[in-house]
Amino acid sequence: MKLAKKLTAIALGGALVLGASACGASTPSGGGEGAAAGNVTLDWSFWAQGDEGNKTWKDLASQVTAKYPNITINLTTAPFADYFTKLQSQLASGTAPCIVSMQSLRLPAFAKAMTPIDGDLAKAAGFTESEWDGGALKALQNGDKQYALPYGLSTMLMYYNKDAFKAAGVDEPKDGWTTDEFVSAAEKITKATGKPAFGQTFSDLHMSAQLLAYNGAKPVSDSGELQMTDPAFESAFTWYTGLATDKKISSIPASSADVPWGEQQFVAGNVAMAVDGSWNVKSNVTDAAGFKVGVVTLPQGPDGAGTFSANSGFGISSTCKSKTEAAQAIGVLTDATSQMASANSGNQPARTAAIPAFIDGLKKDIDPKNPGYSEQVAAVTKASSAKAVPFISTSNWDKVTKLMAQQFQQAYSGKSSPQDALKNVQQSGAK
Amino acid sequence: MTSKQIQARTTRQQALHGAEAAGKATGRFRPLKLGSEVLLGIVVLLFLFPIIFTFFSALKPNGEIFAQPPSLIGSEIRWQNFVEVFNYTPFFRFIFNGLVVSLAGTIIVVAVSSLAAYSFGILKWRGRDKFMLLYLATMMIPQEVLVIPMFLLMQKLGWINTWQALILPWAFGAFGVFLLRQFFINIPYELVEASRVDGCSQWRTFTRIILPLAKPSLAVLGVWTFITFWNSFLWPLIVVNDVNELGNVSLGLQTFFGEHGNSWNLVMAASVIAILPTLILVIILQKHLVKGIATVGLAGR
Amino acid sequence: MTAITTNTVPRRDVDPAAPKKRKKNDSRAALGFLTPSAVGMTVFILLPTILAIATSFFNWPTFGEISFAGLDNYRNLFAPGSQFTAALINTVVFTLLIVPINLVLTLSTAFWVASSRFSRLYRVLFFLPVVTPTVATAVIWKLIYQPNGIVDSTMNSLFGIHLPNLLGDSSTALIAVVVVIVWQGFGYNMLIFSAAIDQLPQDIIDASKLDGAHGLTQLMRIKIPLLTPAIFFATTVTMISAFQLFSEPFVMTAGGPGTSTVTVVMNVYQTAFQDGELGAAAAPAIILFVLILIVTLIQWIGQKKWVHYD
């Protein structure tokens, strides 16, 4: 025991020393060295975007140097699926990059390791609130502080298979449709095709957004507490599981590992409708297995409250030594020109001014093979964004999503009651 | 037994093996044997079905990977998926990186392990087996919990994002020592004594007598180690800062899972490509693994 | 370890030039041959291991205050809502299934393949699943298992019956994962056993033939006993890796449905890299370590009864 303590003390000391020096001049792998000399190199970590996307972001990084010659940005990428695992280990050892890319869902878990962009830092970033979509900013706040500036905005939408609707003789849904209309459309298509028309999912945003639209239920309270057993959430979840267990109009995930089930089944042409984010507005059409894609707002119940929004942006790690320079760099990375470039390649922008670029990109790339899509997207993103609520997660959200997949599998397949499944998630997931 | 006697023994064995092999080559016809061959062929085919399916999935359009019910062949055959893998990510670079790390790692593991196994499997000394058990114990800590302390160590050494950080930390495990020890331990101690009486040093005994005898087991360890390095994922993920510069194939595969949907068909195509280097290694080493005595013992039955 | 490494032995003794007399004790040479491995192991394995053990007594978030926690991390494993007990039970069940199934199948297949005209080809083919990336394997096996998937639709068209959702049903999920693991790891032990079969001393086999031992008798009386060192190795290694099972159930079932396929190392990984609690992650790993150590010790002591060394 004594030895263990001693060793730990040594290790601890080592970790702290290393942590402190990580962003300093002594370690080349850290971010922001030699702040005093005026010239700084800032590490910026981002999830990989494929060759084309990476190039776009590298170009933007060089824009930073063009505007601030003393700043050089060193962009490193990790696969999206593992980005946050890596960030965890970097933070554990104090080697986190200066500029971190952050998703709104993960922000509560990482806020402690980040510096809010306010006061002088906000000034350095050239941040003016009015130029932004309010929801997009709010999603990247924690405790009313802005931790990252968004480069995009995503809302949850309903995608549907136009061909399947036509074949079943069902009218295509219109923005603002109701849950009753959704259920009756699904019933008709299920009857006509012999397979479930809707694809259920374990994905946090996808499922929760549909429950929010049903009766305004939220899985997490506005103060960040898990509330799976909240009566509204329980009733909405019971309705959702009932789509599979009672009405049999919904395809359920084959295993707890198939978290994005509905989205995947939709693209494969196995189900006619699924909820997915506006970040897939382009890829859902290009990947669709030989059918035409339509998109519409989430079906609303009588007490429905629109849809959830989520987004990603860039923030500053708390170990960064050159915070001002980092803020300046983030200002460039999220400025109007940057968002135009990113919007044109299919990211729904967080700056209102860049929306036409987003729609024009779709008109050029998608409309030729999926006619009328860009108009539909323009209408649906406008309608959704107007009623979008930022999704608030808990600081242990990864754990909660894992529990949801495990427990909801039981509920979706009727092996346990929806109430029991929620109770189990709440018990293991509440902190 | 002197080294000459050993040689005589080996020669006699080789002669016998030659005779066995010749007996097999003439292929005496036996109905039971034929039945066994056919049945084994069917078993192998069934066993390979998932691999065959992987290959055909790699030729499908992205949206059709999860089509229900699954079909072997999609609506079109897209050989271009294999090209797109290389356009989408620097996949050649991932293969090259993987080869460098895996080959370097394998050489170190085989060298270090065979030295240690000579100690544990051939030489006699007090506390040998207890010490081996201590070695074994180090295999029982899951890597997942060692990764963070190891990362701290790498940082202290200034090795983050370097080749040596990818190669060295996992090159001293007990696995290889244990494997070779189990093979070495059956080599008669008299062989060592004989060679020593003949005036060979321990070093020469090791290199001239033991290593040649142990070739198949060294090949086994080589293959095994190469695959472990080739497939490693968690450690490279953490210690590599720039995937494009030092990433291996396992990391590269993850890049097809993007923020904007997943390219499943490319994942499958890249997986098929990723099979090749290890497969080639197995085929090359196969010669050492069997060395003309493939059917020892059962052929003449 | 200290007993050996603290011995200071002049380097020349490691590689002595042809000593006149041979003793039964080679400890100096042993030290020399062991040094590279022992040094590497001390730095890269023992040091991190000691650190990992130490962290289990601390409340150690990836970022934030670190504080001494005593035995709290161990106590919390058994608190309500913790998945540890389920994970431990599953891990033991997985091991009890995987080890015997794997060993019996690989050993018998190794003999079967050795008797074949195409043994070289087959050995490579049986190795293919080992070298196929897990991410691809998982996709294909899911397509095989899922409702309306390959197995289900085949059964339906042949016999008109529908199978349950194999990975989504808590009564079948664990078995379904075991099948994939045995399939995927088949090549490893095949490789070991094939190499060992190749190294069977031909003179002993020949002698046994002269004594009239053939077929099954020869297999059970002569060959299997000669293979026991390899079998012992395969058992130990398969067991250790089964106890540390993680990635296959992680990608196939993510521990579900419910907690039916959660394993201890899955728990460790998620606690460390998703929840960011390094101390809490180390505690179950240490318990697992002790468990494996005990089982291996029993095997190690028991090997004298059945493993035949020369």
Q: Give the span between the Cα atoms of A6 and A26, in whole angstroms.
A: 27
B42 touches chain C (CB under 8 A): no
- Check C136 against B267: CB less than 8 A apart: yes
pLDDT at A34: 41
Provide the CB-side half-sphere exposure for A167 (13 A, CA): 16
CA end-to-end span of chain A, whole Å? 29
B160 touches chain A (CB under 8 A): yes
| Residue A241 structural domain | 154-309+373-429
- Check A48 against B147: CB less than 8 A apart: no
pLDDT at C197: 86
Q: Find, in chain A, the residue whose alpha carbon is nearest to that of B251.
A: A79
In a domain, C29, yes or no: no
Q: Give the span between the Cα atoms of A218 and A187, in whole angstroms.
A: 27
| Residue C155 structural domain | 81-306
Distances in whole angstroms, Cα of residue B223 to Cα of each of B168, B210, B285, C107: 18, 19, 8, 19
What CATH number does residue C279 fall under?
1.10.3720.10
Contact residues for A62 (Cβ-Cβ < 8 A; gap 6+):
A73
Q: Give the span between the Cα atoms of B178 and B175, in whole angstroms.
A: 5
Judgement on whether residues A274 and A390 belong to the same structural domain of the protein: yes
SS (HEC) of C243-272? HCCCHHHHHHCCCCCCCCCCCHHHHHHHHH
Judgement on whether residues A38 and A184 belong to the same structural domain of the protein: no
- Reported residue count of chain C is 310
Residue A23 backbone dihedrals phi, psi, to 5 degrees: -95, 0
The minimum CA-CA distance between C168 and chain A, rounded to whole Å, is: 4
pLDDT at A31 over 60: no
Longest dimension (CA), chain A: 76
In a domain, C129, yes or no: yes
Judgement on whether residues A235 and A317 belong to the same structural domain of the protein: no
In a domain, A382, yes or no: yes
B249 touches chain C (CB under 8 A): yes
Q: Find, in chain C, the residue whose alpha carbon is nearest to that of A405.
A: C256
Q: Got the DSSP string for C81-129?
A: T--HHHHHHHHHHHHHHHHHHHHHHHHHHHHHHHTSTTHHHHHHHHHHH
pLDDT at B12 over 80: no
pLDDT at C2: 33
In a domain, C68, yes or no: no
Among A156, A120, A117, CA closest to A313: A117
Judgement on whether residues A275 and A418 belong to the same structural domain of the protein: yes
Judgement on whether residues A386 and A285 belong to the same structural domain of the protein: yes
Nearest by CB to B62, which of A43, A92, A287? A287
Computed from CA positions of residues B226, B227, B233, B235, in that sequence, does the dihedral angle turn out positive or negative?
A: negative
In a domain, A346, yes or no: no
Q: Give the span between the Cα atoms of C296 and B136, in whole angstroms.
A: 9
State the average pLDDT for chain B.
Answer: 81
Rounded (10°) angle between helices A2-21 and C47-55: 100
Task: Lowest mean pLDDT of A34-43, B217-226, C227-236, name the range.
Answer: A34-43
In a domain, A100, yes or no: yes
Domains annotated for chain B, with CATH where assigned, are 90-255 (1.10.3720.10)
Partners of B151 on chain A (C-beta within 8 Å) are 89, 92-93
Mutate which: B94, B139, B141, vs C, most C CBs within 10 A? B141
Residue A396 backbone dihedrals phi, psi, to 5 degrees: -115, 40
Among A266, A291, C179, C153, CA closest to B70: C153
pLDDT at A26 over 70: no
pLDDT at A35 over 80: no
Q: Give the confidence band of B209 by pLDDT, cuts at 50, 70, 90.
A: confident
Nearest by CB to C57, which of A4, A258, A416? A4
The minimum CA-CA distance between C136 and chain B, rounded to whole Å, is: 6
Proportion of chain A above pLDDT 70, given as a percent:
91
Judgement on whether residues A79 and A177 belong to the same structural domain of the protein: no
Q: Are C220 and C214 in contact (CB under 8 A)?
A: no
pLDDT at A23 over 60: no
Judgement on whether residues A66 and A188 belong to the same structural domain of the protein: no
In a domain, C280, yes or no: yes
pLDDT at A203 over 60: yes
pLDDT at B71 over 60: yes
In a domain, C174, yes or no: yes
Q: Give the confidence band of A240 by pLDDT, cuts at 50, 70, 90.
A: very high
Neighbours of C96 (CB within 10 A): 12
In a domain, C37, yes or no: no
Q: Give the confidence band of A313 by pLDDT, cuts at 50, 70, 90.
A: very high
Strand A388-390 and strand B261-262: the pairing is unpaired
User: Considering its fold, how many domains does chain C have in total?
Assistant: 1
Q: Give the confidence band of A182 by pLDDT, cuts at 50, 70, 90.
A: very high
C186, containing H or E segment: helix C173-198
Q: Are A309 and A136 in contact (CB under 8 A)?
A: yes
Rg (CA), chain B: 24
pLDDT at C194: 87
Neighbours of C238 (CB within 10 A): 23
In a domain, A122, yes or no: yes
In a domain, A198, yes or no: yes
The minimum CA-CA distance between A73 and chain B, rounded to whole Å, is: 14
Q: Give the span between the Cα atoms of B156 and B150, in whole angstroms.
A: 10
- Reported residue count of chain A is 431
- Check B125 against C25: CB less than 8 A apart: yes
**Which token pair is A14?**
């080592």
Contact residues for A9 (Cβ-Cβ < 8 A; gap 6+):
none
The minimum CA-CA distance between C57 and chain B, rounded to whole Å, is: 14
Q: Give the span between the Cα atoms of C87 and C261, in whole angstroms.
A: 7
Nearest by CB to C119, which of B175, B197, B295? B295
Chains near B (3 or more Cβ pairs under 8 Å): A, C
Q: Got the DSSP string for chain B?
A: --HHHHHHHHHHHHHHHHHHHHHHHH----HHHHHHHHHHHHHHHHHHHHHHHHHHHTTS-GGGTT-SS--SS-SS--THHHHHHHHHS-HHHHHHHHHHHHHHHHHHHHHHHHHHHHHHHTS--TTHHHHHHHHHHGGGS-HHHHHHHHHHHHHHHT-TTSHHHHHSTTSS-HHHHHHHHHHHTTS-HHHHHHHHHTT--HHHIIIIIIHHHTHHHHHHHHHHHHHHHHH--HHHHHH-S-HHHH--HHHHHHTTEETTEE-HHHHHHHHHHHHHHHHHHHHHHHHHHHTT-TTTTTTT-
Burial grade of A123 (CB within 10 A; 0-12, 13-18, 19 or more): middle
- pLDDT (tens digit per residue) in B75-113: 888 999 999 888 888 899 999 999 999 999 999 999 999
Q: Find, in chain A, the residue whose alpha carbon is nearest to that of B238.
A: A86
Q: Are A232 and A425 in contact (CB under 8 A)?
A: no
Instruction: Match 């402190």 to its residue by tokens.
Output: A20
Higher pLDDT pick, C156 / A404: A404
- Reported residue count of chain B is 301
Q: Give the span between the Cα atoms of A31 and A9, in whole angstroms.
A: 27
Judgement on whether residues A236 and A183 belong to the same structural domain of the protein: yes
Judgement on whether residues A142 and A177 belong to the same structural domain of the protein: no
Nearest by CB to C275, which of A113, A258, A399? A399
Judgement on whether residues A179 and A208 belong to the same structural domain of the protein: yes
In a domain, C30, yes or no: no
The residues pairing with B261 across neighbouring beta strands, listed in sequence order, are B258
- Residue by residue, pLDDT tens for chain C (310 residues) are 333 333 333 333 333 433 434 445 678 888 889 999 999 999 999 999 999 999 999 998 888 888 999 999 999 999 988 999 999 999 999 999 999 999 999 999 999 998 888 988 998 899 899 989 888 898 899 989 988 888 888 888 888 888 889 999 999 999 999 999 999 999 999 988 988 887 777 777 778 777 777 777 788 778 888 888 889 989 999 999 999 999 899 989 999 899 999 999 999 999 988 888 889 999 999 999 999 999 999 998 888 888 877 5
In a domain, A193, yes or no: yes
Judgement on whether residues A134 and A200 belong to the same structural domain of the protein: no
State the average pLDDT for chain A.
Answer: 86
Q: Complex ipTM above 0.95?
A: no
pLDDT at A6 over 70: no
pLDDT at A359: 92
Judgement on whether residues A248 and A139 belong to the same structural domain of the protein: no
User: Considering its fold, how many domains does chain A have in total?
Assistant: 2
Q: Give the confidence band of A29 by pLDDT, cuts at 50, 70, 90.
A: very low
A20 touches chain C (CB under 8 A): no
Q: Give the span between the Cα atoms of A4 and A197, in whole angstroms.
A: 59
Contact residues for C195 (Cβ-Cβ < 8 A; gap 6+):
B183, B216, B217, B219, B220, B289, C230
Q: Give the span between the Cα atoms of C52 and B171, in whole angstroms.
A: 19
Burial grade of A222 (CB within 10 A; 0-12, 13-18, 19 or more): exposed
Q: Give the span between the Cα atoms of A36 and A25, in whole angstroms.
A: 10
Local structure of residue C163 (DSSP, 8 states)? -
pLDDT at C13: 37
pLDDT at A25 over 80: no
| Highest-scoring range by mean pLDDT, A252-261, A342-351, C3-12 | A252-261
The minimum CA-CA distance between B209 and chain C, rounded to whole Å, is: 15
Partners of B295 on chain C (C-beta within 8 Å) are 114-115, 119
Partners of A279 on chain B (C-beta within 8 Å) are 259-260
**Which token pair is C66?**
């670190």
Rg (CA), chain C: 24
Q: Give the confidence band of B29 by pLDDT, cuts at 50, 70, 90.
A: low
- Check A92 against C50: CB less than 8 A apart: no
- pLDDT (tens digit per residue) in A211-223: 999 999 999 998 8
Average pLDDT over residues A249-270: 92
Q: Give the confidence band of A178 by pLDDT, cuts at 50, 70, 90.
A: very high
What CATH number does residue A121 fall under?
3.40.190.10
Looking at this protein, which amino acid is placed at residue B268? M
Instruction: Match 């708390």 to its residue by tokens.
Output: A318
pLDDT at A50: 66
- B residues 181-240 closer than 8 Å to C (CB): 182-183, 185-188, 193, 196-197, 199-203, 206, 216-217, 219-220, 223-224, 227, 230-231
